[in-house]
Structure 1
Amino acid sequence: MAKRLNLLIVLTLTALLSCQGFAYGNSDTITPLPVGEIAPGVYAHQAPVTAMNAASGGDIANIGFIVGDDAVAIIDTGGALIIGERLKKAIEAVTHKPIRYVINTHEHPDHIFGNAAFVGPGVTFVGHKNLPRAMAERGPSYLATWRRVMTPDLVNGIKLVPPTLLVSTDKDAKLDLGHRVLDLHAWPPMHTDCDVTIFDEKTATLFTGDLVFLQHVPVVDGSVIGWLKAMPELAKIPAKRVVPGHGTIDVDWPQALAAEQTYLTRLTKDLRGFIARGADINVAAKDAAKSEASKWQLFGVYNPRNAIAGYAELEWQ
């Protein structure tokens, strides 16, 4: 199992990174990250659906922030320090209220590598109770791979900043920004084993992190069975709109779950068939969920990795 875990980490990094040659200017030329106000006081950045590589500039994950009467909460910070700095510029263009919380939805580098831009007095980093462990175990590997593949501009200044305010799976956390309460829910293993969702009670806006993918094929790094099992509970959140981890933002809920559920169901069914027939894991990686290929971007990059992860999980049932 340890060998397979290491293989999955390598496969995740390989899928995220491929390409070279991208550079930014110095801090004096940093431009604000484009954001839109999708509900009163709720801002989101829709990143391109693309693989994480030097050409992407570290910008592949949807991120955002919420402004209360007293303070600001940030949801994820992007895949490079420069993305975090550009997000900070975008916040400054909207409000001068202090940033009180930085919430990381899980440990993947495209969501946390901009954290260092927000380290400072009065800022609390928030995440799943498992996130510190996940960052400690995987963060050094992520950073080492970034240094090999990305340009220095996209690596310099990145720091692993773990949360100090932790959300447990048995009790939601409430963050008050001043007449604006955010409900944070920590989930059992799904996309990863440290996923958190953020629900803005005032506008019924839900930030799902990578528990919801649109256009971008879902990535299984936790439990495909756990993901499918928890979907009914996820769908019950009384949201009016959702910001997924990847793909189109401000979409209807819970309809946004439909395509992802279909994909994960097909992947699971195909893998069970391969396992029952005694098929090799490499065959499963090539052919599982192949009927879904035309419906998703980056299918050839991530689906083989999903099949390997799912095969390793399901063969022990």
Structure 2
Amino acid sequence: MSHATRRNILKTGIFFACCGVPHTRAALAWSMSADPLPVKQVADGVFAFAGAPAMMTRQNEGEICNVGFIIGDDSVAVIDSGGSVVEGKALIGAIRAKTDRPVRYLINTHMHPDHLFGNAAFKSSGATVVGHHNLPRALESRGTYYLQSYREAMGDDLMADIRIVPPTKLITDEEDLDIGNRKLTLRAWKAAHTDNDLSVFDHKTGVLFTGDLCFIDHLPTIDGSLLGWIAQLDILNGIKAKFAVPGHGAVPSPWPQALEAERRYFDVLASDIRRAIADGVPMTNAVKSAAQRERANWKLFDEYNQRNAIAAFAELEWE
């Protein structure tokens, strides 16, 4: 049974019996862990799964961001674990379908649940969890809230095995990891999407895992600094990558063209908010109209744009 079929069974809430034993929704979710995530080969030894442009729900099991892995001569590096332990186990299944080499590193690109709720699936792998030097503090601050706030949307069964697993190896600037004749450069960025964004560049193939520093199709979300993000786009643009695996969007995506829509949205949002501030428009009114001409260009615009506008207003009014 395919991964999609199993997921659809869980979505419909069908209960079935095998050998006379009833299966609960939790048992169905657990059974899916053996079903490999349908990853795509992006380049030699580089695989990625494209998440759906959606909110995290019970139906999609948190599979809304892009996750992937890189196979070296000695070991494997995983980039993000997904939005649930079920997805994390399915990612492990995909890795095992490609190689029996051990997972040495689990790299979390930032703090958001869709990228690291699957961490607990890797507990028995012995992998070192790697993250930005600000990530432990961010998870300490928000971890409990994340576990509580996603329970309604995800359901008790999917949330039952999810744990906040902080990194033990911290990246403060740039650092290279070797997974066996394969160098990966990890870079810790200044505040942008969050204040704990990390990117991964594979020198062998020129593939760049951007984390949520790059959004395609799915509206970018600001949980760090709009100005910081805009300021670092040129630095991102200058990375000599052949392809990108964005945090959300097509896998792979052309580089640096993948940044163009995001840059345009930020320019429009900042321009509208600055104009509103200059005209004395109250924030409650300004955020409703900001960047509305971008609405047709993005999925989840209504879910996130006003939140982005509030963050932008709070930052730009003190320029």
**TM norm structure 1:** 0.91
Secondary structure of the structure 2 residue equivalent to 1:256: helix
Q: Quote the residue 1:130 is aligned against.
A: 134
Secondary structure of the structure 2 residue equivalent to 1:244: strand
Is contact 2:206-2:240 (8 Å) kept?
yes
Q: Distance in 2 between matches of 1:60 and 1:111?
A: 9
Is contact 2:105-2:129 (8 Å) kept?
yes
Matched, 1:239 2:236: no
Q: Deviations over 1:185-222 (max 9, x none)?
A: 00000000000000000000000010000000110110
Q: Quote the residue 2:179 is aligned against.
A: 177
Q: Quote the residue 2:16 is aligned against.
A: none
Query: Would you say how many aligned residue pairs link Structure 1 and Structure 2?
Result: 296
Secondary structure of the structure 2 residue equivalent to 1:85: helix
What is the deviation of 1:53?
2.0
Q: Quote the residue 1:58 is aligned against.
A: 62
Q: Quote the residue 1:38 is aligned against.
A: 42
Is contact 2:183-2:203 (8 Å) kept?
yes
Q: Quote the residue 2:278 is aligned against.
A: 276
Query: What letter matches 1:181 in structure 2?
Result: K
Q: Distance in 1 between matches of 2:270 and 2:207?
A: 30
What is the deviation of 1:28?
4.0
Q: Quote the residue 2:289 is aligned against.
A: 287
Q: Quote the residue 1:14 is aligned against.
A: none
Is contact 1:58-1:154 (8 Å) kept?
no
Q: 2:88 aligns with which of 84, 87, 99?
A: 84
Change (3 A) 1:21 1:311: farther
Query: What letter matches 2:274 in structure 1?
Result: R
Q: 1:259 aligns with which of 258, 261, 269?
A: 261
Q: Distance in 2 between matches of 1:309 and 1:142?
A: 19
Q: Quote the residue 2:18 is aligned against.
A: none
Q: Distance in 1 between matches of 2:274 and 2:51?
A: 34
Query: What letter matches 2:82 in structure 1?
Result: G
Query: What letter matches 2:267 in structure 1?
Result: T
Is contact 2:32-2:90 (8 Å) kept?
no
What is the deviation of 1:51?
1.5
Q: 1:142 aligns with which of 142, 146, 165?
A: 146
Q: Quote the residue 1:230 is aligned against.
A: 232
Q: Quote the residue 1:4 is aligned against.
A: none
What is the deviation of 1:237?
0.7
What is the deviation of 1:147?
2.1
Please, which runs of 5 or more residues in structure 2 have no aligned partner?
1-10, 14-24
What is the deviation of 1:120?
3.1
Q: Quote the residue 2:318 is aligned against.
A: 316
Is contact 1:21-1:150 (8 Å) kept?
no
Q: RCO (CA 8 Å, sep 6+): is it higher in 1 or 2?
A: 1
Q: Quote the residue 1:306 is aligned against.
A: 308
Secondary structure of the structure 2 residue equivalent to 1:229: helix
Runs of 4+, deviation exceeding 4 Å:
20-24
Is contact 1:21-1:151 (8 Å) kept?
no
Q: 1:108 aligns with which of 83, 102, 112?
A: 112
What is the deviation of 1:150?
2.1
Q: Deviations over 1:136-193 (max 9, x none)?
A: 101111101122332122101101110111011xx31111000001000000000000
Q: Distance in 2 between matches of 1:153 and 1:102?
A: 24
Secondary structure of the structure 2 residue equivalent to 1:83: helix
Q: Quote the residue 1:27 is aligned against.
A: 30
Q: Quote the residue 2:209 is aligned against.
A: 207
Identity %: 49
Is contact 1:43-1:66 (8 Å) kept?
yes
Secondary structure of the structure 1 residue equivalent to 2:276: helix
Larger Rg: 2
Is contact 1:21-1:54 (8 Å) kept?
no
Please, which runs of 5 or more residues in structure 1 have no aligned partner?
1-19
CA RMSD of aligned residues (A): 1.4
Secondary structure of the structure 1 residue equivalent to 2:124: coil
Q: 1:119 aligns with which of 123, 133, 140?
A: 123
Q: Quote the residue 1:11 is aligned against.
A: none
Q: Deviations over 1:266-309 (max 9, x none)?
A: 10111111111121212122110011111111101100000001
Secondary structure of the structure 1 residue equivalent to 2:211: strand
Q: Distance in 2 between matches of 1:121 and 1:201?
A: 25
